[in-house]
Structure 1
Amino acid sequence: MDIPIHLTLSYQKKIFNEVINEDGLCVMAPGLSLLQIAANVLAYFAVPRSLVLLVGANSNDNELMQRELEEELGKTLQIVNTETMSVDKREKAYQDGGIFSVTSRILVMDLLTHIIPTENITGLVLLHADRIVSTGTEAFIIRLYREKNKTGFIKAFSDDPERFLMGINALSNALRCMFLRHVFIYPRFHVDVTESLEKTPADVIELNVDFTDSQKSIQSCLLSCIEATVRELRRYNSAYLDMEEWNIDSALHRSFDVTIRRQLDPVWHRVSPKSKQLVGDLSTLKFLLNALISYDCVSFLKILDTIILSVRTGGFSSNAQPSPWLMLDSANTMIRIARDRVYRSPTGSMDEYYPVLEEQPKWSVLRDVLEEISHENILHESNDPEFSTNSILIMCSEERTCLQLRDYLSTIHYDTKESFKMMNSRLMDYFHWREQYRNMSNSISKIERNSKEKQNTPETSRKGAPASKRRRVRGGGIAASRSTTESNLAQDNFSKDIRLEKLLLSQISKSTYTQEENESFEVLSDTNSIYIYTYNYEMDTLLLNSLRPRFIIMFDSDPDFIRRIEVYKATYPQRATRVYFIYYGGSVEEQKYLYTVRREKDSFSKLIRERSNMAVVLTGENERFEGQETKFLRNVNTRIAGGGHVSVTNEKPRIVVDLREFRSSLPSILHGNNFSVIPCQLLVGDYVLSPNICVERKSIRDLIQSLSSGRLYSQCEAMLEHYEVPVLLIEFEQNQTFTSPPFSDLSTEIGKSDVQSKLVLLTIAFPKLRILWSSSAYATSLMFQDLKSLEKEPDPAVAASIGLEAGQDSTNTYNQAPVDLLMGLPYISMKNYKNVIYSDVINIQDACEVDERKWSELIGPEAGRSLYTFFRKKLKDYE
């Protein structure tokens, strides 16, 4: 049979052949055209009447796969989500066969409800296999697929080797979760990859740019602050943190602070407030390091001022302290240097300040590169798709950098100092921001003074003494006056700067010269344009193929994009490509780049060793032949009632689950614990365990929101009306702290707005409501097993019909997202939301435009008038 592939490079063909011949997990280095290989695998199996499913693809993946399949391979990729296909259309499309990219939530429900014929599925192609965990929806899909289909293929792809090394036996667990045995590993240093990419290399010019002296000093100060913060974390949490191999390079890794937080999550309730603050400080300091590279001097100073003002104005609780790193000498030095980059005085006199507005060193290098390109002798311009165009592609790491470069490039033709116009504009915006802060601070102070004056009116106290002669309370002066003192300090410092701002603004207005800009327009050719984009992973491949740029300027470093250029140049050797790689030598940018490359290489080396030492992975093929005794005991359902009896059944215990709950991991764990999970559109409750027991599951965040909006009250009221045993399940996340906020974190007086108070009021309002606290979804599964042991099985049809009005059909479903948004509106409750759904209001936009009379007819006069006013309330009131 002819293989319909569109692969040019030899390593791509080798990976394709290995994946086709054996089911397995393919781990590749980022940037080596993973999606192109996956698309060819899909096309290879897409014979007539076959059904091939793509799982785990995001919107960008779908776009790229669709282009590759349709334009290069002559196949069609059908994307299935809530907007593209209804249930009836999906069922018919599955029967006809083809290639489908289905969202995980829809696919798991289609498998459970038998909309998709599981036995007829040809196979699954899994993208982002590194994200598949045993409790996730993707693992649930694979398990459902393997239960009824033992012959279909499973092909998994990933370009993140580090994730397969997190934890003990992570690679083996991942393979077992995907029912796979084989692993194909292709790093950048693989022999076949190296030979393919180095035949026709691109012309690369590295431009090592030096930091300014002020940037070097600020970087040194920030690194000192990070080191001190980590040292404090280690001192306070040596029993919880594994930081033996820590060094300053690892602290620069993008997930360093996330890794520390993940280690502390299980004991977060035992961690001191100071340690929690230190974890947050790490993220702040890493952000400042990145801002030093990518932000201009004015924007960087504005960020520092924001951090300082948040402390000075009392933006922390009464028990907390300012961030420790702000008290270091290096922090004070950094703040002083950051201000000197924007404006300074050579003598220290207030009358001699002048704007400095230090440029980013990369800007002048970029200007020189563009001048070099423009002066290069271009022999001819070609529109032939086999050759490159004369376009210039500038790649950045952030959208802010793109806008910054756009402003810079749009002004360099009009001013003698290239960034003069742009930086002056930013400095004026900065002063405008300071003025807004002063006005806001004055307004708040005025309100506080008026409030104190009202409280200090001469009234007689309980013992007859005037209110002005208050009794002094021990220890009451420090905590009460601290935020006021800090606020006054910040206000005084900003008030002193008013004169400085006026002086600098006058200098800016004098030095700014006006020049008539050419307002004529002309149509530019696409082949001579400058494009500025941010790195967007696999979408960068599409960008290179569509623009065919001759000149590529990497303004920020990114190892993944370098490989994409290598693949692009090896695929199209006839296209002339020159790459300018601009980076700050001796800076954290260079260290992060080198550390990322080294860490990836080490990850692949460890992955290769683990594969060689890994025991044989037992998959579904080995486990499908269960002993009859084990199967019998697993399906024995013991119920002791009355005189006691044991009933033996071949059916699994049933649990009816609401469709919205498939966003969580609990349905997957229930299925893995031998429950029969039946998805239904439930109007009352989330899980129906029996005709008598209904469970409403709430995560901590959802619990707080539901208590605040009053939705939980309506849900409990509905459960109590239709079920004998209503249950509220409060479920924590796996490996997260299993405790409510300690009372030490609460205010001195528990108010009505506290979660504890609202839960107490809820139990008082519904005495029959049972509350279950679960540490994880695993614990919830065991609880459900115990709750169902003495109960009858629920009827899905009855559970779906509860809450419906007379004559209403339970099969008439509606889009859940708009309904959830509708339920989140004030004055909409469980009692009146159906009036809106079944009226002539088509969507949320129509709901916003409904008049007051219509709302009164739908939800009542008072609620209708209030909701109508809510839709038309201004977001901000101006004085």
Structure 2
Amino acid sequence: MAPFWLDFEKEMMENLMLERDIMFITAKGLAMRTLLTNFLRIHCSATNLVLCLNTMENAELYVETLEAQGVEKQYLPKIITNKFTVQDRKQLYKEGGCFFITSRILVVDLLNQAIDVPMITGIVVAEAHRVTDTSVEAFILRLYREMNRTGFVKAFSEDAYAFASGFHKVEQVMKLLYLRKLLLYPRFHVAIHSCLNQHQPEVYEIEIPLTPLMKDMQAALLVAMELTLNELKRSCKELDETELTMQNALSKALEYMLKKQLSSIWHRLSHKTRQLTGDLTVLRQLLAYLTRYDAITYYSFLMAQKAQNGQQRTPSQWLFTSAADRLFTAAKKRLYKVGKKKDKVEITLEPNSKWKSLDDLLNEINQAKSKLDENLAGGVSTLIMVRDERTSSQLREYLYFNGSDMLEHRFRQYLQQKNSSFSTEHQLLLQAIGLTTTTTATSGKRKSTPAAASDNGPSELASYGLSMEELADLSQADTKKRPKTANLSVILRTNQLVICTYAQGKKCGSLLEDLQPEHVILYDPDVAFIRELEIYHARYYEDPLNVYFMVYEESAEQQAYLTEIKREKEAFEKLIKQKEHMVIPLNVYDIPAHIKAKQTPQYSLDTRTGGRAKVQLISNSIVIDVREFRSALPSMLHKEGMQLHPVTLEVGDYILSSQMCVERKSISDLFGSLNNGRLFNQAEMMTRHYQIPMLLVEFNPDKPFALQEVSEITSDIKHSSITSKLSLLVLHFPQLRILWSKSPQATVDLFKLVKKGHDDPNVETAVAVGSNSGPSNGSTFYNMNSVDVLRKLPGITQHNYRKVMAHCKNLAQLSNMTVDELEPLIGHSSARKLHRFFTHNVNS
């Protein structure tokens, strides 16, 4: 059954169908999933072949939604993973339809011609903001447009800020995707604004004041964050201070900005600057968790951060400020207070302010009884939306226990796990909470209560709160401790209350349409879900919907929410201005100039050939392991006119010729493979099967071009030193060449240089190398044990042993050669030494 469409959704759908190649950038939560689902439903037929990229995360959700809308099973989209063989994929492509496929599998199938490119109806690219000139998606579109100029390309994105940051990124992405049309749909779009404002749900904003201790902690964190930010500006002059504001520091925007500005110079930064950037991340987390977690969980996390920081070479500066003292003091006071004589403690266990407000709100909803259970039409009465699983677990536990019992239970667990049983303060706390040292020592043998189980992680029915079966188990397991509060009476109504995280809501598809709630409580603010609520109520405005927006008053939580809305609005305004002056090439399918030059015949100036076209042997074929398509190098090699053959290789990553093999390592891969010994095995295999084995160490252009810090490099051989391990690798495999590349583009230039004058590799031979079947063209492989013996013989040196190996099959043949036969290989003096070694009588 097709869903009911709103006016602005109809407009978006019409533009999507009318324009062959187009990119949509919409605000978060504004019908992007609905738009893509409806578009796929139209193309679910055997006459089409539509490929969807960057959609694997929600592929099953799209399939379930289309099936619910009445699409026949044989026409539902297929999800292509590595479980399908090449032959299976070829057959599926011939059958047609829509496919959710990973970028790596698709690019390999395109290069191997496993799919008939001219028969492709079109390609859908979700999350278009992730496309860059080195991404696999750009590689796929280049291959697609080289052989198919009639198929469509539809690109989608909900991240306007990613497009607005940087220098004309939207133009770059459109050029990479071969697009000429761009449509922007912010929340303030005329069509969207007029449609959604006609039927707004009843929204009640509940501003909850922070407790005095929470206010003090928030103020202390803000002071510490501002001090750290100012110190970072002073210590690093390379930073652009225009975006380093406290407003951005409340969200992840500051981390993104710092990473963007400092990644290229990270190796030149002082230890102080690096530590300050890490401190900002920690402080932002502490500020976010203050309003999200209970007092015990927060205090435990705070102390863990302090202990971890104490193990560092240089502790963070903010820990020595008065703001840090205020923070730790207030966090402790939320749990307990120590007497002046330190001979007694008072347990306080301050609850979160939102819990009491939620309790009052649920009681108010329950007492109102605006709808009876039998009139719910299969829906639920109340839906509570939270940010993460920990918050969901807390609320489920709070709705079963009352707030004081819940906190007391969690505090018991915290004291039992704490390893300071011999301190006076800890002993006083154990006595105050009703525990003893003996109880603490044997706590591991106690049975876990239902509340403890919920704290360890979400249950299977976490997204739907507590079911009747769970409540029955709880009532049987712990009838003595079960509180008789109004909270429990609310839950006991069948399908009356659902607790769901925003991440679970995205995976559930049409969550609101499935549950049909009468009351929605936004326990944590979320911009995307608020817009989903607006669209849902605009569709079903006849059914009453009450929305309760809970937020801490004058808190970092409120400011972060407002900042997110402001950043998105400013991003769309910037994109609107860019669109007015956007420069799009007339011929988006134009072939790059360097590829045209390769396709142009080379004319000779030699008068003996009469200036005719001269046929030149150009070595431009490379065999690549399919696992390498996760990197940017294959795309750049193809862009430079190289002919790629993706296969599964047992030895090496890139085969440049019949004699040259390359094993590519990024810096992280190099460290890992040297530590576990895998690189030594790979070097041995390459040396055994290829005459010119090479190790390519490729750096990331966006990260520091350094193997390790200068201060870590010493003249001594150390087991933990990467330079020491590389030195041992070179000593053990002297024939191994090492190529150093600062970027993928530099690697392309290196490959061009080393391939000059060499033949192209044979694909079948490269695949057979290292397998049980062995080589198919008689390639020369060496017994490394025999090679080691050969190199230790008198007269054999580093410079002549390869020549001897090329002329002798084995050591037995070498031992029977005369001085005259050896002399052309190793010289007169060395030939006499070697011949004397083989013919000398050991008994004489």
User: Could you tell me how far 1:142 is from its partner in structure 2?
Assistant: 0.7
The partner residue of 1:612 within 563, 575, 580 is: 580
The partner residue of 2:748 within 776, 781, 795 is: 781
- Tell me which residue corresponds to 1:663: 630
Q: 1:301 to 1:657 in 2, by over 3 A?
A: same
- Asked if the contact 1:388/1:577 (under 8 Å) is kept, the reply is no
Q: For 2:94 and 2:266, how far apart are their aligned partners in 1?
A: 50
Q: For 1:78 and 1:782, how far apart are their aligned partners in 2?
A: 41
Q: 1:14 to 1:809 in 2, by over 3 A?
A: farther
User: Could you tell me how far 1:66 is from its partner in structure 2?
Assistant: 1.3
Q: For 2:558 and 2:178, how far apart are their aligned partners in 1?
A: 41
User: Could you tell me how far 1:332 is from its partner in structure 2?
Assistant: 1.0
Q: 1:219 to 1:647 in 2, by over 3 A?
A: farther
- Tell me which residue corresponds to 1:43: 41
User: Could you tell me how far 1:636 is from its partner in structure 2?
Assistant: 9.3
- Asked if the contact 1:541/1:564 (under 8 Å) is kept, the reply is no
Between 647-656 and 203-212, the greater mean CA deviation after superposition: 647-656
- Asked if the contact 1:180/1:617 (under 8 Å) is kept, the reply is no
The code of the aligned residue for 1:425 comes to: H
The code of the aligned residue for 1:772 comes to: L
User: Sequence identity of aligned pairs in percent?
Assistant: 35
- Asked if the contact 1:388/1:550 (under 8 Å) is kept, the reply is no
User: Could you tell me how far 1:498 is from its partner in structure 2?
Assistant: 3.4
The partner residue of 2:363 within 363, 371, 374 is: 371
The code of the aligned residue for 1:433 comes to: Q
- Tell me which residue corresponds to 1:827: none
Give CA deviations for 1:603-646 in whole Å, capped at 9, x if unaligned: 0000010001111245533x1497997354598999xxxxxx99
User: Could you tell me how far 1:535 is from its partner in structure 2?
Assistant: 3.8
Give CA deviations for 1:754-805 in whole Å, capped at 9, x if unaligned: 2111111100000011111111111111111111122111111111111122
Aligned ranges for residues 650-729 of structure 1 at < 5 Å?
653-729=620-696
Between 611-620 and 624-633, the greater mean CA deviation after superposition: 624-633
- Tell me which residue corresponds to 1:427: 411
- Tell me which residue corresponds to 2:808: none
- Tell me which residue corresponds to 1:735: 702
Q: For 2:192 and 2:407, how far apart are their aligned partners in 1?
A: 46
- Tell me which residue corresponds to 2:432: 504
Q: Secondary structure of the residue that 1:403 maps to in structure 2?
A: helix
- Asked if the contact 1:393/1:533 (under 8 Å) is kept, the reply is no
Q: For 2:684 and 2:378, how far apart are their aligned partners in 1?
A: 68
- Tell me which residue corresponds to 1:164: 163
- Tell me which residue corresponds to 1:192: 191
Q: Does 1:11 align with 2:5?
A: no
- Asked if the contact 2:244/2:254 (under 8 Å) is kept, the reply is no
Q: Does 1:135 align with 2:134?
A: yes
Q: Secondary structure of the residue that 1:197 maps to in structure 2?
A: helix
- Tell me which residue corresponds to 1:395: 385
Q: For 1:321 and 1:425, how far apart are their aligned partners in 2?
A: 37
Q: 1:233 to 1:747 in 2, by over 3 A?
A: farther
The partner residue of 1:342 within 321, 335, 342 is: 335
Q: 1:637 to 1:756 in 2, by over 3 A?
A: farther
Aligned ranges for residues 574-593 of structure 1 at < 5 Å?
574-593=542-561
- Tell me which residue corresponds to 2:17: 20
Q: For 1:543 and 1:73, how far apart are their aligned partners in 2?
A: 18
The partner residue of 1:547 within 515, 524, 527 is: 515
User: Could you tell me how far 1:536 is from its partner in structure 2?
Assistant: 4.5
Q: For 1:646 and 1:504, how far apart are their aligned partners in 2?
A: 96
Give CA deviations for 1:723-770 in whole Å, capped at 9, x if unaligned: 111110111112110012123146896521221111111000000111
Q: For 1:523 and 1:322, how far apart are their aligned partners in 2?
A: 48
- Tell me which residue corresponds to 2:836: none
Give CA deviations for 1:395-431 in whole Å, capped at 9, x if unaligned: 111111011111111112xxxxxx1111112212222
Q: Which runs of 5+ in 2 are unaligned?
A: 440-477, 606-611, 778-783, 786-844
Q: For 1:618 and 1:518, how far apart are their aligned partners in 2?
A: 72
The code of the aligned residue for 1:399 comes to: E
Q: For 1:295 and 1:634, how far apart are their aligned partners in 2?
A: 70
- Tell me which residue corresponds to 1:764: 731
Aligned ranges for residues 863-878 of structure 1 at < 5 Å?
none
Q: Does 1:755 align with 2:722?
A: yes
- Tell me which residue corresponds to 1:408: 398
User: Could you tell me how far 1:530 is from its partner in structure 2?
Assistant: 3.2
- Asked if the contact 1:584/1:590 (under 8 Å) is kept, the reply is yes
Q: Secondary structure of the residue that 1:351 maps to in structure 2?
A: coil
- Tell me which residue corresponds to 2:241: 243
- Tell me which residue corresponds to 2:813: none
Aligned residues: 728
Q: For 2:181 and 2:490, how far apart are their aligned partners in 1?
A: 58
- Tell me which residue corresponds to 2:51: 53
The code of the aligned residue for 2:410 comes to: R
User: Could you tell me how far 1:382 is from its partner in structure 2?
Assistant: 4.9
Q: For 2:82 and 2:93, how far apart are their aligned partners in 1?
A: 17
Q: Secondary structure of the residue that 1:679 maps to in structure 2?
A: strand
User: Could you tell me how far 1:393 is from its partner in structure 2?
Assistant: 1.2
User: Could you tell me how far 1:74 is from its partner in structure 2?
Assistant: 2.0
- Tell me which residue corresponds to 2:66: 69
Tell me which structure has the larger Cα radius of gyration: 2
Q: Please give the TM-score of this superposition, normalised by the length of structure 1.
A: 0.78
- Tell me which residue corresponds to 1:174: 173
Q: For 2:733 and 2:761, how far apart are their aligned partners in 1?
A: 24
Give CA deviations for 1:545-591 in whole Å, capped at 9, x if unaligned: 21111111111011111001111111222332211111001000110
The code of the aligned residue for 1:326 comes to: L
Q: For 1:636 and 1:666, how far apart are their aligned partners in 2?
A: 31
The code of the aligned residue for 1:429 comes to: Q
Q: 1:103 to 1:382 in 2, by over 3 A?
A: farther
Q: 1:410 to 1:629 in 2, by over 3 A?
A: closer
User: Could you tell me how far 1:666 is from its partner in structure 2?
Assistant: 1.1
Q: For 1:353 and 1:499, how far apart are their aligned partners in 2?
A: 10
Q: 1:604 to 1:427 in 2, by over 3 A?
A: same
Q: Does 1:329 align with 2:322?
A: yes
Give CA deviations for 1:351-404 in whole Å, capped at 9, x if unaligned: 2311110110000000001101111134444577xx672432111111110111
User: Could you tell me how far 1:507 is from its partner in structure 2?
Assistant: 8.4
Q: 1:516 to 1:766 in 2, by over 3 A?
A: closer
- Asked if the contact 1:205/1:580 (under 8 Å) is kept, the reply is yes
Q: For 2:382 and 2:165, how far apart are their aligned partners in 1?
A: 40
Aligned ranges for residues 463-612 of structure 1 at < 5 Å?
495-506=423-434, 515=480, 517=482, 526-536=494-504, 538-539=506-507, 541-612=509-580
Give CA deviations for 1:679-705 in whole Å, capped at 9, x if unaligned: 011100000011111000111111111
- Tell me which residue corresponds to 1:843: none
Q: For 2:217 and 2:594, how far apart are their aligned partners in 1?
A: 68
The code of the aligned residue for 2:7 comes to: S
Q: For 2:307 and 2:156, how far apart are their aligned partners in 1?
A: 47
- Tell me which residue corresponds to 1:865: none
Q: Please give the TM-score of this superposition, normalised by the length of structure 2.
A: 0.81
User: Could you tell me how far 1:217 is from its partner in structure 2?
Assistant: 0.8
- Asked if the contact 1:297/1:358 (under 8 Å) is kept, the reply is yes
Q: 1:274 to 1:646 in 2, by over 3 A?
A: farther
Q: 1:516 to 1:631 in 2, by over 3 A?
A: closer
Q: Secondary structure of the residue that 2:651 maps to in structure 1?
A: coil
- Asked if the contact 2:662/2:693 (under 8 Å) is kept, the reply is yes
User: Could you tell me how far 1:73 is from its partner in structure 2?
Assistant: 5.4
- Asked if the contact 1:729/1:773 (under 8 Å) is kept, the reply is yes
Between 212-221 and 775-784, the greater mean CA deviation after superposition: 775-784
User: Could you tell me how far 1:349 is from its partner in structure 2?
Assistant: 2.1
Q: For 1:712 and 1:507, how far apart are their aligned partners in 2?
A: 55
Q: For 2:714 and 2:209, how far apart are their aligned partners in 1?
A: 51
Q: Secondary structure of the residue that 1:350 maps to in structure 2?
A: coil
The code of the aligned residue for 2:530 comes to: I
User: Could you tell me how far 1:647 is from its partner in structure 2?
Assistant: 6.3
